[in-house]
Amino acid sequence: MNRKDFLSVVVTFLIMYVFWLLLSACIGSHHGIDYIRVVGGLICAGIVTAFSHKHRLLFTGKEEKVLTKAYRFIFYVPWLLWQIILANFDVAYRVLHPKMPINPRIIEFDTTLRGDISRTTLANSITLTPGTITIEVKGSRFWVHAIADKAAEALLVDKTMQMKVAYVFMEF
pLDDT score of 27: 52
pLDDT, position 10: 86
Cβ(34)–Cβ(41) below 8 Å: no
The amino acid occupying position 112 is T
Enumerate the β-bridge partners of residue 110.
141
Helices (H) and strands (E) counted in the chain, each on its own, are 6, 3
pLDDT of res. 46: 93
Whole-model pTM?
Answer: 0.71
Element holding 136 (H helix, E strand): strand 132-138
The pLDDT of residue 67 is 76
pLDDT of residue 144: 97
- Are residues 96 and 54 in contact, defined by beta-carbon separation less than 8 angstroms? no
Q: pLDDT (tens digit, 0 to 9) for every residue of the chain, 172 residues total?
A: 677 778 878 888 988 898 888 777 655 555 666 788 889 889 999 999 888 877 666 665 555 677 788 889 889 999 999 999 999 999 999 999 989 899 999 999 999 999 888 999 999 999 999 999 999 999 999 999 999 998 999 999 999 999 999 999 899 7
Q: What is the pLDDT of residue 133?
A: 97
